[in-house]
Each structure stands twice: as structure tokens, then as C-alpha cells.
Amino acid sequence: MKNYLVFLLASSIFSFTSSQDAAEEVPTVVEEEEDPFYKTPLNRLASSASNFAYDLYRAQALKNPNSNIFMSPLTIATALSSISLGGGQRTESLIHRSLYYDLLNDAELHATYKELLASLSSSPKGLKSISRVILERRLKQRIDFVTQLEKFYGNKPRVLSGNARLDLAEANDFVQKRTDKALKFFKDMPAGISVLLLGAAYFKGQWIHKFNPRETALRDFHIDEQTSVSVPMMSASNLPVRYGLDPDFNCKIVQLPLSGGVSIMFFLPLTVTQNLTLIEEGLTSEFVHDIDRALQSVTVTLSIPKLKVDYAADLGGTLQEMSRFSFFCILDFLKSRCLL
């Protein structure tokens, strides 16, 4: 990491000296080359969905400041994207703007989604992600909506029977089958719904460089300056990781590889007193992509909490409160049956 920091400093000095020597030269404008990562529809779609998810995470964290939050950007964005197929131009525009799709310039958005979902379902990433549109009985379905939903997203809308017990059993059965019985989703079926967007995700990661279970022990985990809790901490020495230091957010960043080409990033403030809000507010797809490119391969001694996160939430209220997305209007459309 020292070499990496020195390289950045040397680059700055070199640029400064060169500009002095060339003071008499006529300045030229150099166009910044587009990052190749964003040239493919799949990556642009993933980036847009991630930016929506960071916005949603911030809104959910604001409502639940003391809770662990675990969300699947793909699951939530897929559910909203699928319902946009049934909307008029204004509703579709609202949803797409909410998901940053208006920046994609991709006429084949839903076909790209189909490609993305197919690539994830066929790869050994340990991820099970599902979404489904559930409708009340009295809603009339447009045939083209049903056809497109099945074509691009792989399932038809589910129509409620009116029997809450049977509808609950069917919804949970659908989730369990699609996640290899890893999840049981609903404890009860929401009442008075016109359209329910059901989303669920299950992820079981496998470390490439495994932690020795005998090194796991209870240690203090600092929540803030005054509060710490004792949790099982996994530890390893000489662990190969990708590592970086972000001076703007005043934090260390460690990336650990998982099987299936997946990785996990940890952001650790340099001081216990630091508020995590600064880091949370700065999270964007572009920032994470830039960080990923800048991290350096090193070996470290690392201790992290043993992770098992189970999270369920009704996101309807949070979506409505995200005023810049105008989800209140979208939900009004659903209730007034203008969407389908």
C-alpha cells in the first residue's frame, strides 16, 4: 500500500513540474476516453440499478438507523422494471427515471434484463434472486403485458384467489421453490392490495481463502465511540486481499474474493468516532467501480464479524418517502388500476 500511495504522489509532482516547463506551449484539450466498462448494455443496466439501490439503502437506513440492512438491488429493480411493462408512457417514464434508466439510452432494456437474469441463474455465484407480480382478482390484465412479462422476466402475474390462507401458502411455496427452500417469505399476506411486487434474494458465499474456524473468537465490535458489542470475529493472518485507503472518506477498504467471481467489500473508518453517514452518502456505482480498479493486492492480518444476515422489509413506505422518485404517483396509478 505504501508503494501505491507513493505512486500517486509522484504522479502529482510529475504533472505539476511538466505543466511549469510547458507554460509557453499552447494548451490542448484532451477528450476523456469512456470507461470500457460502461460500453456494454449489461454493465450500464447493472450500474443504474445499483445507483437506485444505494438511494433506497440510504432512505431505509435513515428510517432504521440501528438495524443491519441487506438488500438485493437486482431483485428490487427487477420487480419495478417488470411492472413498468404494464404502464402507460407517464408511469413507465416515472419508474425508469427512478431507476436511472433514462440515462441508459438502451432501447432493448427488457431484453438486456432477460440476458442478465439468464447469466446469473446459470452461473455458480451462490445467488438466488426472484421477483413476481401479484394482482388482485378484479384487475383486468392486458394480454400484451402478460406476454411480455413472461418473455422477459420468466413468469406470469399471479392472481390472488381471495383466500388469504391459500394465497399466503402459494406465495411462500413460490419463494421456497425458487430459493431451494432457503427462505420462507411471508408470515401473513398484506391486506387490501391491488398490486404486490414480491422480491426475494438468497446468497450463500464461499470464501476463496477460508478462515480457520479455530481462530473465531468473541471480540469487541465498535458501533460508535461509546458503544461496542461482543460478537464472533473470524481472523486470519497473511490473508490475500485487495486493499486501499480513501482519504476523502477517511476509511480503509478491503475486498475479499468469493467463489463464482463474486467479491465483498468492507469499509472501515480510520477512527471509531467517525460517523458512517459520510461513507454511506458517497456510495455510488461509479465510486465503487473506481475503487475496485484502484485497490492493490496485499496480504494482511484481518478480523471481521462472522456474517449471517437475515433481512425482510416492506419497502412500500420507503419508496413513497423518496420524494425525488415520485413513487406516490406510481402507487396511486396501481390503486386506481390505471397501470394494467
Q: Are 130 and 230 in a shared domain? A: no
**240 shares its domain with 331:** no
In one-letter notation, the amino acid at residue 129 is S
- Pair 190, 244 in one domain: no
Q: At 45, is the secondary structure helix, strand, or coil?
A: helix
Residue 25 is assigned to a structural domain of this protein: no
Within this chain, do residues 122 and 251 fall inside the same structural domain, yes or no? Answer: no
CB 60 within 8 A of CB 315: yes
Main-chain dihedrals φ then ψ at residue 197, nearest 5 degrees: -95, 110
Is residue 11, in this structure, part of any structural domain at all? no
For residues 52 and 179, membership in a common domain is answered with yes
237, part of any domain: yes
Do residues 59 and 150 share a domain?
A: yes
> Is residue 187 located within the same domain as residue 316?
yes
pLDDT of res. 123 = 65
Residues in the chain: 340
Instruction: Give the cell for residue 78.
Output: 427487477
10: in domain: no
C-alpha cell at 247: 482519504
Sign of torsion over alpha carbons 52, 53, 54, 56: positive
Number of domains present in the structure of the chain: 2
What pLDDT sits at residue 253?
96
In a domain, 238, yes or no: yes
pTM of this prediction?
A: 0.77
Residue 65: CA count within 13 A, CB half-sphere: 6
For residue 28, the tally of other CB atoms under 10 A from its CB is 5
Say what the pLDDT of residue 106 is: 64
How far apart CA 204 and CA 207 sit, in angstroms, is 10
**Are residues 187 and 230 located together in one domain of the fold?**
no
Question: What is the structure's pLDDT at 336?
Answer: 33
pLDDT in the model for residue 337: 33
Looking at the structure, tell me whether residues 184 and 327 fall in a common domain: yes
Q: Which amino acid makes up residue 182?
A: A
- If asked whether residues 74 and 180 sit together in one domain, one would say yes
Collect all residues with Cβ–Cβ distance below 8 Å to 14 and sequence separation of at least 6.
Answer: none
Q: What CA–CA distances, in Å, run from 115 to 82, 92, 103, 287?
A: 14, 21, 19, 25
| pLDDT given for residue 265 in this prediction | 93
Tell me the CATH number at 107.
3.30.497.10
Q: CATH number for the domain including 269?
A: 2.30.39.10
Cell readout for 215 is 481462530
Q: Does residue 4 form part of some domain?
A: no
- The answer to whether residues 168 and 186 touch, using CB atoms and an 8 Å cutoff, is yes
Question: pLDDT per residue over 281-308, tens digit each?
Answer: 999 999 999 999 999 999 999 999 987 7
- Using left for φ > 0, alpha for ψ between -120 and 50, and beta otherwise, residue 186 falls in beta
195 is written with which cell numbers? Answer: 398490486
CB 200 within 8 A of CB 171: no
**21 in any annotated domain:** no
- What would you measure as the largest C-alpha separation in the chain, in angstroms? 81
Based on the fold, state whether residues 154 and 189 are members of the same structural domain: yes
The predicted structure's pLDDT at residue 258: 92
Q: Name every residue whose Cβ is closer than 8 Å to that of residue 72 and which is 6 or more positions away in sequence.
A: 129, 199, 201, 203
H or E stretch at 243: strand 228-246
In this structure, the answer to whether residues 50 and 189 fall within a common structural domain is yes
Reading the chain (340 residues) residue by residue, the pLDDT tens digits are 333 222 222 222 222 223 333 334 444 444 556 788 888 888 999 899 899 999 999 988 888 887 888 877 788 889 889 988 887 778 888 888 889 987 776 678 999 999 888 887 766 767 778 888 898 888 878 888 899 999 999 888 999 998 889 999 998 898 888 887 777 777 888 777 788 888 888 877 889 999 999 999 999 988 777 888 999 999 999 999 999 999 988 899 999 999 888 899 999 988 876 667 888 899 999 999 999 999 999 999 999 998 777 777 777 778 777 754 444 444 433 433 333 3
With respect to residue 145, please indicate whether it lies within any of the assigned structural domains.
yes
Domain of 283 in residue numbering reads as: 217-305
Stretch (H or E) spanning 18: helix 2-21
Task: Report the C-alpha gap between 90 and 131 in whole angstroms.
Answer: 23
Taken in order 31, 35, 41, 44, the sign of the CA dihedral is negative
d(CA 288, CA 267): 11
List, for residues 24-71, the tens digit of each pLDDT value: 444 444 455 678 888 888 899 989 989 999 999 998 888 888 788 887
Kindly report the number of other CB atoms within 10 A of residue 252's CB atom.
16
